[in-house]
Structure 1
Amino acid sequence: MSKIVVTGYGIIAPNTQNRKEFLHNLRDGNCCLQSVIGLGPNSESIVVGLIDKGLEEFENNKYIKRLPRVTKLGIKAAKEALEQAKITNLNEKKVGLFFGTSLGAGGEKSFQNAIIEGNRNNFNKIPVTFSHIANYHCITSAIGHYLGVKGITKTITTGCTSSLEAIQDAMVYLKSGIIDIAIVGGSDSPICQATIYAFAKTKVIPLGQSLENGAVPFHEESDGFAMSEAGGVLILEKEDAAIKRGIEIKGEIASIVSNNDGVYTYSVDETGDQMVNLLHEIARDKNPSYINSQALGIQTHDQIEKRCSQEIFNHKTPYTSIKSMYGNPFGAIGVLQVISSLLSIEHGFIPPTIRTTKRGFENMNIVTSTVYQDINEVLITNHGHGGNNACASIKKYEGDMNVLR
């Protein structure tokens, strides 16, 4: 069966407008987060990842200007991905669009304001766009409209695993022959009072902590994670189709598996049994160059990663987490982990987990400064609010580009 390969990718994230800047920040270990005073429930500072530039091109288009920010992030990333893959004739191919989002447009002011006005029973204050903003699938369909996609269009919302599971779904459609090309990714822009207050109540947002100790993966003094925003997109094709097009193949999506903890909505599975089972399944007979981990500064989650490291790899395989640099952009984090893995494979390096002293995780093989070496395979771990777990294997492409030309 033909391999599923990546022929293009695009990204927008904090301090990152494109894949070139993403590579630079990953390789240099740059912190793209900031501590902002006044965002907490009692005006405390919190660590966040904000995008302050990169969407200016949409301000002169009156139609795109009206779209939610989360949609614009998806469009921006998709444009770059399609450009790299050299795909312009979408109408001539069977194209599928698969997008993951966790919060949709629920973190945006227009949505929040509509809810407030609605509670005042003022019908005329509800914007005509409210039903579109409230419907997650309208985000994906708006991205599809901009790109010119009229084929299969799917929205996946499984918390922070959304974009990784969007890739999983796209692979099924590609392998079945239903589509020729998959545009797949995720976007989220969750930073608003509602989400900040909600996560602060559950004690997973570090209130008043500095960048030194707040939202730091693999660091026992961290009191939680950094909320962030981002968009990322991959172009996926079958190997033989990509070779026939003569396009450069960036890497292979070898496999993606997922499951659910199966616990009560308002509880957390602190054992990590399902994540361990999943990683066992995908890591079987593999010797990955490193693990691109879901660790994000929440002690429960990071301890599960430590258990995986011990039981499956005997603490020998290197671990890292890009969330130390970029925080957690909810449903977009999975595709960002994939893109970061592809860049590390192409350029031969393991990105560091910055800011951590490894306190409480000393036995793990945590990479804290950039390591330059050949990278052949990266395993990704990902966990979502709602209990979903997802793991992926991203491999260096080793096929012969001349076979089918």
Structure 2
Amino acid sequence: MDRIVITGYGVKAPGVSNINEMKDVLEQGICTQEILHGRGSNGSNIVCGVVHEDLNLISGQNYKRYPRVAQLGIAAAEEAYQMANLRNDDFARVAVIMGTSGGGILDVEKFSNHGSNLRKVPIQYVPIGDPHTLSSGITKHLGINGQAYTISTGCTASLDAILMGKLMLEAGHVDICIVGGSDALLSDWITYGFLKTGAIAENVEIEETGVPFSVAHNGFVKSEGAAVVILERKKDAEARGTKIWGQVRGVASNNEALSMLQSDPTGTLMTAALKSAIGDTIPTYVNSQALGLKQNDKIEYITHTNLFGSSIPITSIKGMTGHTFGSMGAIQVVSSIISMEYGFIPPTIKTSGDGFHDLPIVFETKYQNVESVAITNHGVSGNNTCLLITKEN
């Protein structure tokens, strides 16, 4: 079976307009989060990660009526497409597969007060609430008339999209897969939902929340963002003469079959997913799901200890970018490609590892050769999805 490789990638994240800016954020350990005043309950403040770019126009095309989630995805896909040097003379054998957790909820909420007033309801009222506008927007922008799918499996959605793309390429259904994820969930509805469960902190400073691997802090930082990677079979990429940035060696997913808002506290299923993804490979380091929620980070601790003990470094980039929900896995993939290309492990910032002192956390940028990275993701819908990305030697 031919190897599945990455020939292009693109990203939009808080404080990040392109892959070069992503490299700077990762290498320098820059926190790109900010305080949104009056956006919590009773006018309280919350910490978020915001993409400030105006994406109504992308390469001269007007996307003003498109939902924010689609704008972010289109912009990230364009950067990946350009890097991969794809030609649009035969796009019938190309698939777009994007993941999202919330789709166009932000834009639905924006217009919800006009729902009973037909005159004020926008003409795009139906498609802005359709998650598939994300993938169809990318096909429209790039002129792709092949297959298009949008999947919603919570915070693992973009890694699940990569899994699906890998399977389709291996089965010979397509020749190129444009895969990834996008989410824009800085809405009041999502904020209040997480405030109700105690997952978001109010009226705190930026360094006091969204702190990975710390029992002394509370809550995660919700952010918006998108990332896209181009997948091809190795022989096809070599025939095109394009640069190969890495290989998707293994991907594995399972579901915990629990009630809403519950997670497996034993870490058994996350351990099984990561073990299945990496096989016999010992990764250079683990790019972790850890985001500042105590149970989530504890599961990361259990999984890492079960498989690696204290021998393999672990880091989380969420102290920099915050948590971008269904696009986070793809953003972690992009960060891992950059890490392999430039030879460093990005730091876990904002934390001193309180309560996780025996975990080999990377606190400062570590310069070394990076041959492979294991990535972990978990979603409130119960999915555990893990991926192994390696250098293509």
Calculate the TM-score normalised by the size of structure 2.
Answer: 0.97
Tell whether the 8 Å contact from 1:206 to 1:222 is kept in structure 2 after alignment: no
CA shift for structure 1 position 131: 1.2
Structure 2 gap segments, 5+ residues each: none
- Map of 2:328 onto structure 1: 333
- Report Cα offsets for 1:78-98 as digits up to 9, x if no partner: 111111111132535510000
Cα distance 1:307–1:90, how it changes in 2: closer, same or farther (>3 A)?
farther
- Report Cα offsets for 1:153-187 as digits up to 9, x if no partner: 01011001001000100111111111111111111
Residue from 89, 111, 119 that aligns with 1:114? 111
- Report Cα offsets for 1:290-341 as digits up to 9, x if no partner: 0000000000100001111211111221010011100111111010000111
Aligned equivalents of 2:295, 2:103: Cα separation in 1: 26
Give 1:222's aligned amino acid. H
- Map of 2:40 onto structure 1: 40
CA shift for structure 1 position 389: 0.7
CA shift for structure 1 position 37: 2.5
- Map of 2:364 onto structure 1: 369
Tell whether the 8 Å contact from 1:158 to 1:388 is kept in structure 2 after alignment: yes
Residue from 350, 353, 357 that aligns with 1:358? 353
Give 1:30's aligned amino acid. I
Cα distance 1:309–1:98, how it changes in 2: closer, same or farther (>3 A)?
same
Give 1:68's aligned amino acid. P
- Runs of 4+ in structure 1 deviating by more than 6 angstroms, as ranges, are none
Residue from 241, 245, 248 that aligns with 1:246? 241
Tell whether the 8 Å contact from 1:58 to 1:65 is kept in structure 2 after alignment: no
- Map of 2:4 onto structure 1: 4
Cα distance 1:57–1:132, how it changes in 2: closer, same or farther (>3 A)?
closer
Aligned equivalents of 1:311, 1:171: Cα separation in 2: 27
CA shift for structure 1 position 215: 0.7
Calculate the TM-score normalised by the size of structure 1.
Answer: 0.94
Aligned equivalents of 2:294, 2:7: Cα separation in 1: 36
**Secondary structure of the structure 1 residue equivalent to 2:63:** helix
**Secondary structure of the structure 1 residue equivalent to 2:43:** coil
Identity %: 40
- Map of 1:24 onto structure 2: 24
Tell whether the 8 Å contact from 2:58 to 2:75 is kept in structure 1 after alignment: no
- Map of 2:292 onto structure 1: 297
Deviates more, 1:187-196 or 1:260-269: 260-269
Deviates more, 1:307-316 or 1:367-376: 307-316
Within 5 Å, which residues of 2 pair with 1:207-356?
207-356=202-351
Give 1:365's aligned amino acid. P
Aligned equivalents of 2:131, 2:295: Cα separation in 1: 29
Aligned equivalents of 1:56, 1:170: Cα separation in 2: 28
Aligned equivalents of 2:37, 2:49: Cα separation in 1: 13
- Map of 2:90 onto structure 1: 91
Tell whether the 8 Å contact from 1:90 to 1:149 is kept in structure 2 after alignment: no
Aligned equivalents of 2:44, 2:231: Cα separation in 1: 43
- Map of 1:70 onto structure 2: 69
RMSD (Å), alpha carbons? 1.5
| Number of residue pairs the alignment of both structures matches | 393
